[in-house]
């Protein structure tokens, strides 16, 4: 439900900048880490093959991800209609001069603003931020039956064990583990003090 509300905001809210839409769609559909999004260069995107090729900031490992049309279109719109004129190689830049690449904290602020517009994670202590988009992607892929090694590879993990924290929210499969209490009748004496 949270993902569909985020997608609705990204598709329908005309007050969001093209940059914010592109960044959130990129995170939502690829699960890229915020540092990798900040470092994304024009050379990273293979428009003809619909691929994103990066060297991960965290691990240094190469990662190749599919570039879905919705993401590619959002990035293209940002580059052609809103990105400041700059010789910087990184795609996403600050909106004020001197134009510099964005920082992870900028992306978290963008993500939190989108979540607020979507009306999700509003309570104090609720986890917010770009990292949740990685959780959403991992959970979604698992719910569609994608094998864990593929999910781990998509997220750029060196080991499938690293996937465990992302999958704790897989409620569909967790419900399969639940036992029915119908076989364990509770007598009224249980409730007497």
Known catalytic residue at 85: no
CA angle 105/14/87 to nearest 5° reads: 50
* Domain boundary assignment for the chain: 2-176
More confident residue, 149 or 35: 35
Q: What does the pLDDT average to over 57-64? A: 91
More confident residue, 92 or 178: 92
Mean pLDDT lowest among 12-16, 20-24, 160-164 = 160-164
**pLDDT of the residue at 43:** 98
Known catalytic residue at 134: yes
Known catalytic residue at 99: no
**Confidence check: pLDDT of 65 > 90:** yes
**pLDDT of the residue at 192:** 58
**Confidence check: pLDDT of 127 > 90:** no
To which H or E segment does residue 136 belong? helix 131-143
CB 6 within 8 A of CB 118: yes
Tell the residue number behind the tokens 């010789």, with chain if given.
87
Residue 90 CB coordination number (10 Å):
17
More confident residue, 73 or 150: 73
Contacting residues for 75 by C-beta, under 8 A, at least 6 apart? 22, 26, 45, 91
**pLDDT of the residue at 100:** 96
Known catalytic residue at 58: yes
Q: What is the CATH number of domain 2-176?
A: 1.10.443.10
**Confidence check: pLDDT of 174 > 50:** no
**Confidence check: pLDDT of 188 > 90:** no
41: three-class secondary structure by DSSP = strand
Q: Quick one: pLDDT band at residue 177, thresholds 50, 70, 90?
A: low
Catalytic-labelled residue, pool 21, 29, 33, 136: 33
**Confidence check: pLDDT of 72 > 90:** yes
Question: pTM for the full model?
Answer: 0.80
Known catalytic residue at 33: yes
CB 27 within 8 A of CB 106: no
Q: What does the pLDDT average to over 122-130? A: 85
Catalytic-labelled residue, pool 21, 117, 134, 135: 134
Q: Quick one: pLDDT band at residue 131, thresholds 50, 70, 90?
A: confident
Name the average pLDDT for the chain: 87
**pLDDT of the residue at 126:** 86
Known catalytic residue at 131: yes
How many angstroms separate the CA atoms of 72 and 144, rounded? 23
Q: What does the pLDDT average to over 110-130? A: 90
Catalytic-labelled residue, pool 101, 117, 131, 135: 131
**Confidence check: pLDDT of 92 > 70:** yes
């Amino acid at each position: 439900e949270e993902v569909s509300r985020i997608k609705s905001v990204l598709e329908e809210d005309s007050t969001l900048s093209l940059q914010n839409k592109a960044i959130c769609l990129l995170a939502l559909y690829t699960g890229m880490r915020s540092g990798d999004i900040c470092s994304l260069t024009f050379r990273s995107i293979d428009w003809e093959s619909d691929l994103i090729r990066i060297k991960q900031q965290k691990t240094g490992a190469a990662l190749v991800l599919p570039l879905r049309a919705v993401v590619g279109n959002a990035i293209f719109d940002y580059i052609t209609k809103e990105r400041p004129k700059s010789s910087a190689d990184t795609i996403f830049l600050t909106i004020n001069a001197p134009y510099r690449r964005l920082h992870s904290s900028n992306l978290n602020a963008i993500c939190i603003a989108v979540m607020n517009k979507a009306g999700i994670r509003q309570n104090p202590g609720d986890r917010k931020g770009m990292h949740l988009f990685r959780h959403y992607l991992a959970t979604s892929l698992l719910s569609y039956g994608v094998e864990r090694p593929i999910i781990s590879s998509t997220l750029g993990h060196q080991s499938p064990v690293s996937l465990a924290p992302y999958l704790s929210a897989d409620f569909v499969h967790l419900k399969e583990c639940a036992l029915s209490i119908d076989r364990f009748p509770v007598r009224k004496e249980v409730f007497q003090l």
